[in-house]
Amino acid sequence: MTFFWSSWITILSIMCWAFILGILLMVLKFKPEVEDDGTTGHEYDGIREYDKALPKWWLVIFFGSIIWGVAYWVFFPGIFPSKWEGITTVEVDGKTLPWTSKNELYSELESNNKVFTDNFEKNILAKADASGATKTLASLSEMQATMRRSEKPPADLQAQIDEKIAELSPYVEKLSENPNALKVGSRLFLQNCAVCHGSNAKGATGYPNLTDNDWLYGGEASNILTTLHNGRVGGMAAWRDQLGEDGIRAVSEYVLSLSGNQPGYELDKAQVAQGEAIFKEPTNCVLCHGPEGKGMISAGAPNLTDNIWLYGGDRETIRETLRYGRAGVMPEWETKLGNERIMLLAAYVYSLSDRTVQPAAKATSVAAAMPKQVVSTEKTVN
């Protein structure tokens, strides 16, 4: 709040307080002339007016509220907040800070989170035989706090954080077999993830199905943890300017031929051959999807040879994807949920996936450490 508005509100508050107090003192001091029977001589409709003292309980409450108001100005930043911080303090992140509604919120969130983490360690990790995660979580929290506080954090700090996150993956697998952990994880999913992935986690057009075994970045516990902690930013470039409409149609035809599961389509063999040549040019589709079109987990590129599509696998939808590209964002949840809740959420998602067969998209050596993404070119991704 600017100094002008702070001053204006403060002055109005003080004037209102002084006016009310003045009126009360004037009324208490004023003594009207009364008749022998104790009335003021005023009568209306048979009702005579007496001059009686105000009830003491009412006066106590009234003056008490005035005193409370003055005390509030002292304890809290009620008078010129930009100049007076008050004497009330709260604990936030181990520091004693002046009271503000923001600091109070953070303090209460920390207190509530402490209750949650204690319960998480005692009643969930311990019962899932995953208590070994406690030490890793403590180290991870310290590193994350250092990252937040440092204007110039150590260059390798993020890599160390990623390593600690990966160390939690065996414990996530154990939690995925624990009913209590899955119960909490399902609640977290419904509260935070269902808006995009659906309450049954089967996704929708543009939002991945989390119950199959088709993953752009891999469906292992470590991959899911990384996705939840860091988020994913993905996209497929628009190719209409580079390829032209004829090139778009040819590549679309080749992609249809790769899938091999498009009933009712008669493929144009000439376009398939032309599209294959365009697809396999070193700077075109092969760069991300691989020479066989099976995708690359390291690059987040989808497998084009199965029948799982994020935006649809019909001819016109594939053409639209190639013309205009696709873009999507999976938000990071580290700052919103914290490490413990992410473990539970990752365990729940891990438990949903069909793990009976290997994912079709194979990892390659392309940019293994590049940022991950959940929404990709055309295919479903978890």
User: 263 falls in which pLDDT band (50, 70, 90)?
Assistant: low
What SS3 state is found at 236?
Answer: strand
The pair of structure tokens assigned to 1 is 């709040």
Residue-level pLDDT at 153: 87
The pair of structure tokens assigned to 130 is 């995953």
175 φ/ψ angles, rounded to the nearest 5 degrees: -65, -30
* Cα separation, 182 vs 172, whole angstroms: 11
Domain range annotation of the chain: 1-73, 100-231, 237-326
For residue 115, give Cα distances in angstroms to 95, 108, 120, 245, 374: 19, 11, 9, 60, 32
Other CB atoms closer than 10 Å to residue 85's CB: what's the count?
15
Residue-level pLDDT at 360: 44
- 184-200 pLDDT, tens digit per residue, is 999 999 999 999 999 99
Give the percent of the chain with pLDDT over 90.
51
- The type of residue at 42 is H
The pair of structure tokens assigned to 208 is 């991945």
What pTM does this model have? 0.73
Q: What is the CATH number of domain 237-326?
A: 1.10.760.10
Strands 89-92 and 47-50: unpaired
Q: Which residues pair with 380 in a beta bridge?
A: none
What SS3 state is found at 9?
Answer: helix
User: Is pLDDT above 60 for 325?
Assistant: yes
Domains 100-231 and 237-326 share a fold: yes
- 203-262 pLDDT, tens digit per residue, is 988 889 999 988 888 899 999 999 999 999 888 899 999 999 999 999 999 999 998 766
Strands 39-44 and 47-50: antiparallel
* Closest listed residue to residue 375, CA positions, set 208, 195, 220, 147: 208
Contact 11/84 with Cβ under 8 angstroms? no
User: 40 falls in which pLDDT band (50, 70, 90)?
Assistant: confident
- 63-82 pLDDT, tens digit per residue, is 898 888 888 888 888 777 66
What DSSP assignment string belongs to 146-197?
Answer: HHHH-SS--TTHHHHHHHHHHHTHHHHHHHTT-HHHHHHHHHHHHHHTHHHH
Please classify residue 340 by burial: count the beta carbons closer than 10 Å to its beta carbon, then call 0-12 exposed, 13-18 middle and 19+ buried. Answer: buried
Contact 47/37 with Cβ under 8 angstroms? no
**Architecture in CATH of 100-231:** Orthogonal Bundle (1.10)
Per-chain mean pLDDT for the chain: 86
User: 361 falls in which pLDDT band (50, 70, 90)?
Assistant: very low
The pair of structure tokens assigned to 65 is 């509220």
Residue-level pLDDT at 151: 86
Give the percent of the chain with pLDDT over 70.
90
Residue-level pLDDT at 248: 95
Residue-level pLDDT at 229: 96
For residue 259, give Cα distances in angstroms to 165, 311, 357, 361: 36, 15, 18, 13
Residue-level pLDDT at 3: 67
* Cα separation, 326 vs 380, whole angstroms: 12
